Amino acid sequence: MATAVSPAVTPPTRGVQPLQAGEGHSFLLRRLHSLSGIVPIGAFLVEHFVSNFEALKGPVAYAQQVRFLNALPFVRVLEWTFIFLPLLYHAIYGLYIWFRGKSNVVYYPWAGNWMYVAQRWTGMIAFIYIGQHVWRQRFSGVSLPEHPGAAFHKVQMELSNPWILAFYAIAIIATCWHFAYGVWLFSAKWGITPGDKARRKMGYVCAALGIALVAIGLSSLYAFVGPWYKNAPADLTPAQITNGESTSSAPSNEPPASK
């Protein structure tokens, strides 16, 4: 088929170069970035928010959840394969994507263009937050995998600083935004929602998802700083976690009346 052969190629010498048809690995890397945001990172985000919601039931329930997660088979392998490495990849490749885009929202202030910019900034906030969060909660201080009973106290101490608390709240909103719009982008780019109507409906679904996650996240924060579980015990013994008893001397350490 003679006409199926491309004519001789004379690329322009300046400006944006033409498509490198069929060459390079950026397709794989970029799609991996897109997918990793949904699974495993997005899935982990949901799990993490649901787990932290246990804090509303108090230090013992929270400790039970931490112990349960850390008792999963191959937990350290799971942690690195499905959380740390994908997060690191998603974050670093995401920055690379950001630096190569040239935002023009100043000239074209349209909704999609704003979301394009917001996706980059919320990703940056999430990256900085997750970096310090993982370092301070997972890799420094009391080691929670060995001392699940100390989990509530450790987070409570962290959040006692109002600046840190504000940072947590902002980061929760930014991360949920990034994830919810990320789901929308994923559906659009992978051809799950090609139609305008389908994309609009998906927009509502993702907005609801984002709002629900923010609500879960912020109410978990409240469990640590609100009046219900003030002065949680520094650690719980395995027996206390198992039997569901807490020996804190603090008088306010009672479950809320609504429970």
Chain residues that interact with another protein, rule: CB under 8 A: 1-4, 6-7, 9-24, 26-28, 30-31, 97, 99-105, 107-108, 110-113, 115-116, 185, 188-196, 199
4 vs 257, which CB is nearer to another protein?
4
Q: What is the SS3 assignment for 108? A: coil
Q: How far is the CB of 108 from another protein (least distance, A)?
A: 5
- Structural tokens at position 133: 């969060």
CA distance 101 to 124: 15
Q: How far is the CB of 32 from another protein (least distance, A)?
A: 10
Read off the amino acid at residue 159: L
Q: How far is the CB of 129 from another protein (least distance, A)?
A: 23
Handedness of CA 13, 18, 20, 21 (dihedral sign): negative
7 vs 162, which CB is nearer to another protein?
7
Q: What is the SS3 assignment for 258? A: coil
116 vs 222, which CB is nearer to another protein?
116
55 vs 180, which CB is nearer to another protein?
180
- Structural tokens at position 173: 């909103």
- Structural tokens at position 142: 């009391």
Q: How far is the CB of 89 from another protein (least distance, A)?
A: 15
Terminus-to-terminus CA distance in the chain, angstroms?
A: 75
